[in-house]
């Protein structure tokens, strides 16, 4: 089920130790549980984030993403399970300072003190870390160059979020947490935020992000952990997510005028006026369909063949809109 976790290297002794440590995951979570009163927010969550990877915790609101993240960050205690972040337990108070030196986090809401300048705000944060990144580099990276002397309160909302991101990066973290990094961004801002995340990964930063946006998970993540109702319902690279259903292809076209659905040579459904054929053998089905169409001299307008998108998988697996729709719940 979760080969990454069961395959976790045991602490090795002797010469092989450094090679072993190289493959140690940045984050490993096994059997994580947390409840608020009678509400089980996170139930038996298991996943890992390898060194240098971008992993997305994907799920609807109340799926347990933020709770999981806050347990990893050390803000919340857990009820059960094993958690290791950069080889340390975030619950372990003696590891807290070291962990905070090596991790950065960017939270959902903007919170920056209004009266300092951009440069001062970043310089203050930089002073907390033993090996901070170059300030100019970070300001350039987040796109705040030229605004160094501006007061924070005169920045736009988007600029403040970029400042927040700069604060998460200035300590040169090995591991970066991004909590819903592009919520509320316009499409252009979102693109540039995605580019930045890719740049960071290219520079060797391991990133765990939460999102409820499938497109974002698909665009950024090496692997996606799909959460619903506090449990992992799917895990894997975004392309292969959804297991068997990923093998399915979907053929669709507009139903030609005057042709009843039953005349078609393959089993088909009608969805919103379009004919939809779900199949595991798209080549053969397509051949049958097109030869039938040319024999009958029928045009299959809008003919497309695609695989189910992550969105389909997401909606089905999280039960959103499905018959067993997951109730919205959030500890917030």
Partner 1 sequence: MTTAALARQPPRRRSTLNLVIHQVRYEQLSFWRNPQSAIFTFVFPVLFVTIMGALFGSLGRSTYFGGLSALQYYVPTIAALCVLGSCYGQLAVALAARRQNGILKRVRATPLPAWIYFIGLLAHCVLVSLIDIALIVGVGRLYGVPFPSHWLAIALTLVLGAATFCALGVAVASVISNADAAPAVAQLVLFPLLFLSGTYLPIHSRLLNRVTGWLPVRPFNEALTGPLSQHTGAEWRQLAVLVAWGAAGAVVAVRRFRWSPRPE
Secondary structure, 3-state, 234-260: EEECHHHCCHHHHHCEEEEEECCCCCC
Nearer to partner 1, 134 or 263 (CB): 134
Closest contact distance (angstroms) between CB of 151 and partner 1 is 8
Chain centre to alpha carbon of residue 245: 20
Q: What are the Cα distances from residue 169, in Å, to 97, 141, 236?
A: 17, 10, 27
Yes or no: say if 53 and 26 are a contact pair by the CB < 8 Å rule: yes
Nearer to partner 1, 87 or 158 (CB): 87
Closest contact distance (angstroms) between CB of 140 and partner 1 is 21
Yes or no: say if 126 and 184 are a contact pair by the CB < 8 Å rule: no
Assigned token pair, 284: 């053969």
Residues composing the chain: 332
Yes or no: say if 113 and 155 are a contact pair by the CB < 8 Å rule: no
Nearer to partner 1, 33 or 151 (CB): 151
Closest contact distance (angstroms) between CB of 218 and partner 1 is 28
Q: Where does this chain bind partner 1 (CB under 8 A)?
A: 18, 22, 70, 73, 75-77, 97-98, 100-101, 103-105, 107, 109-116, 120, 124-125, 127-131, 151, 167, 171, 174, 331-332
Burial of 59 (0-12, 13-18, 19+ CB in 10 A): buried
**Which residues make Cβ contacts (< 8 Å) with residue 138, sequence separation at least 6?**
122, 166, 169, 170
Nearer to partner 1, 112 or 215 (CB): 112
Query: Whole-angstrom Cα distance, residue 81 to residue 72?
Result: 12
Nearer to partner 1, 199 or 304 (CB): 199
Closest contact distance (angstroms) between CB of 174 and partner 1 is 7
Query: Whole-angstrom Cα distance, residue 134 to residue 14?
Result: 36
Nearer to partner 1, 295 or 332 (CB): 332
Nearer to partner 1, 155 or 167 (CB): 167
Closest contact distance (angstroms) between CB of 108 and partner 1 is 9
Closest contact distance (angstroms) between CB of 129 and partner 1 is 6
Query: Whole-angstrom Cα distance, residue 216 to residue 180?
Result: 10
Closest contact distance (angstroms) between CB of 42 and partner 1 is 14
């Amino acid at each position: 089920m979760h080969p990454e976790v069961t395959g976790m290297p045991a602490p090795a002794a002797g010469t092989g130790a450094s090679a072993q440590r190289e493959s140690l995951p940045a984050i490993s979570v096994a059997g994580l549980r947390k409840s608020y009163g009678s509400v089980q927010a996170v139930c038996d969550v298991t996943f890992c984030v390898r060194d240098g990877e971008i992993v997305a915790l994907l799920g609807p609101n109340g799926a347990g993403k933020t709770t999981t993240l806050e347990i990893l960050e050390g803000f919340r205690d857990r009820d059960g399970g094993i958690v290791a972040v950069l080889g340390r337990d975030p619950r372990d108070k003696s590891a807290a300072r070291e962990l905070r030196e090596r991790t950065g986090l960017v939270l959902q809401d903007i919170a920056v003190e209004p009266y300092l300048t951009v440069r001062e705000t970043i310089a203050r944060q930089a002073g907390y870390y033993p090996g901070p990144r170059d300030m100019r580099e970070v300001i350039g990276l987040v796109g705040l160059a030229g605004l160094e002397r501006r007061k924070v309160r005169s920045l736009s909302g988007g600029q403040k979020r970029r400042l927040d991101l700069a604060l998460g990066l200035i300590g040169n973290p090995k591991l970066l947490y991004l909590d819903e990094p592009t919520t509320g961004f316009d499409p252009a801002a979102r693109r540039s935020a995605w580019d930045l995340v890719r740049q960071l990964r290219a520079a060797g930063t391991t990133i765990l992000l939460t999102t409820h946006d499938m497109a974002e998970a698909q665009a950024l993540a090496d692997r996606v952990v799909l959460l619903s109702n506090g449990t992992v319902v799917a895990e894997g690279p975004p392309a292969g997510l959804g297991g068997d259903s990923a093998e399915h292809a979907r053929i669709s076209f507009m139903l030609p005028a005057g042709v009843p659905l039953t005349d078609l040579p393959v089993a088909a459904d009608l969805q919103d006026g379009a004919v939809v054929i779900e199949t595991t053998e798209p080549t053969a089905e397509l051949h049958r369909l097109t030869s039938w169409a040319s024999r009958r001299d029928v045009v299959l307008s809008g003919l497309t063949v695609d695989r189910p998108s992550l969105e389909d998988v997401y909606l089905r697996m999280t039960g959103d809109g499905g018959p067993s729709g997951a109730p919205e719940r959030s500890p917030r």
